[in-house]
């Protein structure tokens, strides 16, 4: 029973730490955690299936020099001021010193309607993905998700603490009762 209790404690405590870090990182970065130039992004559409599915969590690496990009690379670019898109480069055009990328979602019938300026390319897909984990990241970026992901583990820890304290009190009461019974028995035999 004690082993199960210890394992449960480690699981809950680890869950609280992970969820707290995800929520803090998500909120501080404006929705997507970023560490050492790598960013975790939630896939919100099926445009890149089967490469990665809706709800997946993918990792992209920040790009500082787009000259190394080539046809077939998957990049994240800003479609407008508020919308980031991750699609595959299908063609590269050079206009003077400026590069323009033609992109397309693997699951889309047609290429994206506008060429992507090199200035709008932000990151390149690393090949790392976690299916369905993007739903949690997206949920954590919402106010209700932040509250739930911080409160629920906290409540679980409180419940665990209550159960542990109650169990310890029962054990102390049992030992006290046994000691009293033992003392009574010893007193009567004298």
Instruction: Return the active site residues.
Output: 45
Can you read off the two tokens belonging to residue 108?
């889309």
Tell me whether residue 125 is exposed, middle or buried, using C-beta atoms within 10 angstroms of its C-beta: 0 to 12, 13 to 18, 19 or more: buried
Cα atoms in the 13 Å half-sphere on the side-chain side of 106: 14
Cα gap 60→129, rounded to integer Å: 10
What does the DSSP 8-state code read for residue 141? Answer: T
Compute the distance between CA of residue 39 and CA of residue 182 in angstroms, rounded to an integer: 65
């Amino acid at each position: 029973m004690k082993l199960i209790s210890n394992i449960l404690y480690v699981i809950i405590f680890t869950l609280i730490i992970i969820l707290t870090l995800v929520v803090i990182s998500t909120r501080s970065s404006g929705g997507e955690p970023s560490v050492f130039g790598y960013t975790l992004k939630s896939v919100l559409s099926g445009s890149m299936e089967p490469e990665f599915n809706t709800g997946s969590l993918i990792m992209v690496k920040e790009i500082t020099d787009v000259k190394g990009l080539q046809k077939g690379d998957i990049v994240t670019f800003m479609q407008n001021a508020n919308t980031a898109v991750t699609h595959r480069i299908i063609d590269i055009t050079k206009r003077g010193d400026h590069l323009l990328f033609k992109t397309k979602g693997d699951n889309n019938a047609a290429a994206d309607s506008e060429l992507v300026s090199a200035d709008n390319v932000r990151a390149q897909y690393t090949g790392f993905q976690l299916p369905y984990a993007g739903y949690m990241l997206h949920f954590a970026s919402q106010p209700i998700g932040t509250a739930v992901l911080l409160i629920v583990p906290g409540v679980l820890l409180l419940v665990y603490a209550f159960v542990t304290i109650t169990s310890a009190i029962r054990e102390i009461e049992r030992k006290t009762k046994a000691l009293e019974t033992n003392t009574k028995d010893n007193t009567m035999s004298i």
